[in-house]
Structure 1
Amino acid sequence: MPNLALLDYPGASIAAVAGLQEMFTYTARLHQRDDLPDIALTTGAPPKTPPDAVILPPAFGNDAYLTPPKNLIDWLRTLPETCLITSACAGAFYLGAAGLLDGRNVTTHWALEHELQSRFPKAKVDTGEILIRDGRVITAGGLLSWIDLALELIAHFSGPAIMREVGRHFVTDTGRRDQRPYRAFSPPMNHGDHQIEQAQFLIERTFAAPIRIAELAKTVALTERTFLRRFERATGLTPLTYVQHLRIQSAQRALESTPAPVEQIAYSVGYENAGAFRKLFKRHTGLSPSQYRQRLKR
């Protein structure tokens, strides 16, 4: 009989905890209907007997996940290799504190990417994905990604047919999603390099215009070579990639809030070739401009 432990840690999302309980309660009913082995979800503190899977739900409205209780971290470290260890959103910080993310491909909420990566540099963080499974560790990104995580666990323990039936009952897509359409570009501004900060502010005001590295470097009193090296060190991006992120984000806002044609939006954010803009937009968001507008409009 599969036993899953949902850890209701201080600051965990009440909605996520309740939603996970309901999804697994319904799954248990399907097991009874089909005469399958029972599946049980216990909620609260770590159980004395190691479970078959552990779930760290998202946090909501607090940053308590940054200082997880030592007893919980120690318990996570004792779990056998046969136990699936999973998290959604900020729950990944618990796994990181226990050393369970080291060397693994993982995800979390896109807004927590830099914090997770800086605290646990051995992890390979990719917030483009909404769910990543690497060995016995499954991480999900986004505050509502507990739904994707629940479906993944149900597919693992109950099979894909029951997982899809659960999806139909709760009216939720059972296919794989990603976070790229929802990610906002939030470049680091607290890196301490004041000349690069000055360049960042200038780029944010003029990103729709052609980028000229030599002029940017001159404006902040640096040689072009020094400027390029320090810019990438401070932001993690080349100036050209930085500008592309700003342009795509501006285009996303226009697609969400205006009926303007794609060609007009492309030109307004700095692209004369609408075809090139469409390719770049899909590379960043996973969707074409028209698909993005369709998904986000009400």
Structure 2
Amino acid sequence: MDAAIPAPLPAPPVKPPGIWRQGWYRFRRNRGGMVGLGLVLLVVLVALACPFLAPHDPGDQSAMLRGGARAAPSWLHPLGTDRMGYDVLSRVLYGAPTALAVGLGAMAIASLVGIVIGGIAGYVGGLLDEVLMRFAEFFLVIPVFVVILAVVRLFGIIVVGTPLEKVPHLNLLTIIALLGLFGWPPIARMARAEFLRLKQAEFVEAAICIGATKRDILLRHILPNALPSLIVLVALGIGGAVLAEAMVSFLGFGDPKAISWGQMLYFNYEALKVAPWGSLAPGVAIFLTVLGFNLLADGLTDAFNPRLRQ
């Protein structure tokens, strides 16, 4: 008698892709988002490799000594020199780390404040929710740009003769802090909406039933599922912070010790007719950087919030 053939074991269940993998699949099909990702990666690469890519030291003004200020592009200076004898290409390359420091630093502060305030408002609700949201709306109506100009100028006067005067790039750090402290309300409103939605989800109710603490519910269940929507605002805010710093520097309120694209525009806009490369090069760099982050944010919106496109 033949031995009985054992029944085949059931196939192990296939784990469904997580929210991040699903978002990546959708993001890859968005051409604009991929172009934005490419531009952002290019800026990051330039920021990391600028000491190796720059043909000259960014503080080298030897061209002025030999009468080479405002020189047209050449093999020695591929993008020419500005009115102070600096090599334009080297200064543009060294401006990338400053731009990323401003964008990432400002949005790190804004994200921390916005997620904390918006998360508390959405999870707790009630009177505290009303108070925190009215507080956020108050920040939304403040003329941020005017406040930044006033605070930077006033702070620059106050620190004279104090130990703070020796802090490197103090003006730039002040601009980053102000952009972050005034840029949190949109993130707080989005965080509030996500926490309100997710605290009623089934997996949160299941976590409550098994005795999970509020800390675990907030940090391990709600916050990770709210991050995809918040990352969209962060990416958009980075480009906005880069543009805001460029405008502040262009008006003469930037950090004179920092190499930034806004400072290059400030020092070279008067020579636009004589040596346009001194202004066009940093202007193009600002445009490509802001465009990259905006396209990246648009692609992330399609990837993680597809309902907004329907």
Asked if Structure 1 and Structure 2 have the same fold, meaning a TM-score greater than 0.5 normalized by the shorter chain, the answer is no
TM-score between both structures, scaled by the size of structure 1: 0.28
Q: Which has the higher contact order (CA 8 A, sep 6+)?
A: 2
Of Structure 1 and Structure 2, which has the larger fraction of its residues in strand?
1
Question: Higher helix fraction: Structure 1 or Structure 2?
Answer: 2
